[in-house]
Amino acid sequence: MMYSFVARQPIFDRNLNTVAYELLFRNGLNNTFPSVSDEYATTQMISDQFLCTPHSRLVGNYSSFINFPYQMIIQGLADALPREEVVIEILENAEPDDHLLKAIKRLHHNGFRIALDDFSLSAEWDRFIPYITLIKFDIRMNTFSEIDNYIKSHKQKLQHVTFLAEKIETYVEFEKYKRQGFGLFQGYFYSKPELIKNRRLSPNEISAFQLMLEVNSDKPDFNKIEMIIKRDLSLSYKIMRYAKNALYKTGGSHNVNRLSFKAIAMYLGKNELRRFVSVACLADKDNIKTPELYHTSLVRGRFCELIAEHFKLYDLSQDAFLCGLFSLLDIILDIPLDELFKQVTISDIVTDTLLRHEGMLYPLLNLAQLYEQQRWEEANTAIAQLNISEKMVIKTMSDAIKWTDEFQL
């Protein structure tokens, strides 16, 4: 069976909310970009992600940014896509000639949003600006001064255009371009600590983590689970609401309000409890800098769990899940992991993985991180060391993303 897959990179607004994804075609993990033409890559991605698979399965309700080479725009192939769901990116190597201008005018007239990718600051693109929705500036390709001068010198023409800064690597850069007026951002700065503040977990957070650890134990103690839930008003409310939704979906007839918390927990079962705890404990909008961090944590957790099960490490699959789930907690909660683990008891194999980057489970987490950051050559090396196939990794990551996307955040 042939596999191709799409890497998705989140696009954030000024408040670090995910507002869209850029979709990037890949046909394996060997290279940064497969050795195929731009036309083939775009055609294959459209076929896989828009014709064969519901678009929402990959990006939910968000828009998709899709790279379109010159020839495909000229031929009108972009017109076949749902205009409400996509942003057409004109590649940096496109020739800004009359043919392209005519095609861009047509797309604009038909209601499509159009972006200039890796914008070169060239005056050749000036006549295209009235039809452009968004300009992407590669901050590694041009300096801040060059970008700033271009924007100031074209201020009147660019009033309707949204600016996106790509390849942002630090919060300092994010704030710098935010102050300059940029509205959108791409890069992995969101998963790097800006400033780790030393603080203690709140009583509610401690209850949440105690519940998470109990649910993920080999033999959950439902009496202990009930005790943890009963002493936390927020968890009590959330699990009753969650159970009501679960009953509604399955056509159950129980009146949740009349059940004890132990009965609710036993009714939900271990797997559904894990799902609830993962959502309830980490999806607190007051704690999380961006939902993308939460989503990434869950994907990592599920990916590590599935890989562990592939190796028949069933006794470690729960720990593998926690390794991925907790891998961004220092950033989410603004607490260094070593301080966090002093406040909440975690197994040695999880602490070895997260604090010392060693142990049996670290290669699984490392592979998940390499994959999500699109470091394909290093990912391929990690795959070889684990003696597994690219196909298996691609399918497992796809399953992990699908599993995570089913959560109601």
For 295-354, what is each residue's pLDDT tens digit? 888 899 999 999 999 999 988 988 898 899 889 888 777 778 888 787 666 789 999 999
State which of 149-163, 230-244, 342-356 shows the largest mean pLDDT. 149-163
Q: Distance (Å, rounded) from C-alpha 86 to C-alpha 107?
A: 12
Q: How far apart are the first and last CA of the chain?
A: 34
Q: How many CB atoms lie within 10 A of CB 205?
A: 19
pLDDT at site 186? 92
Q: What share of the chain is helix, strand, coil (3-state, %, to 5)?
A: 55, 10, 35
- Strand bridging mode 162-166 / 184-185: parallel
Residue pair 129/158 in contact (Cβ under 8 Å)? The answer is yes
Residue pair 299/324 in contact (Cβ under 8 Å)? The answer is yes
Q: Counting beta carbons within 10 angstroms of the beta carbon of residue 13, is it exposed (0 to 12), middle (13 to 18) or buried (19 or more)?
A: middle
CA torsion, ordered 116, 34, 327, 282, to nearest 10 deg: 50
For 357-368, the pLDDT digits (tens) are 999 999 999 999
CB within 8 A of 299, min separation 6: which ones? 324, 368, 372, 397, 400, 401, 404
pTM for this one? 0.67
Mean pLDDT of the chain: 81
Lowest mean pLDDT of 107-111, 147-151, 294-298, 377-381, name the range.
294-298
pLDDT at site 201? 64
Residue pair 211/345 in contact (Cβ under 8 Å)? The answer is no
SS3 label, residue 20:
strand
pLDDT at site 35? 45
The model's confidence at residue 2, banded by pLDDT at 50, 70 and 90, is: very low
CA torsion, ordered 5, 9, 11, 12, to nearest 10 deg: 130
What amino acid occupies position 251? G
pLDDT at site 6? 63
Which H or E run contains 30? none
**The length of the chain, given as a count of residues:** 409
- 3-state SS, 184-252, equals EECCCHHHCCCCCCCCCCCHHHHHHHHHHHHHCCCCCCHHHHHHHHHCCHHHHHHHHHHHHHHHHHHCC
Q: Counting beta carbons within 10 angstroms of the beta carbon of residue 357, is it exposed (0 to 12), middle (13 to 18) or buried (19 or more)?
A: exposed
Specify the CATH class of 5-191 in words.
Answer: alpha beta
Position 57 pLDDT exceeds 70: no
- Compare 252 and 36 and report the one with higher pLDDT: 252
Supply φ then ψ for residue 311, to 5 degrees. Answer: -85, 10
Nearest Cα residue to 196 out of 335, 314, 332: 335
Domain ranges of the chain: 5-191, 194-282, 291-409
Nearest Cα residue to 239 out of 209, 286, 274: 274
Q: Distance (Å, rounded) from C-alpha 182 to C-alpha 381?
A: 37
Helices in 28-135 by DSSP H: which ranges? 38-46, 55-59, 70-74, 98-109
Position 376 pLDDT exceeds 60: yes
Q: Which two tokens stand for residue 254?
A: 């129980």
The model's confidence at residue 281, banded by pLDDT at 50, 70 and 90, is: low
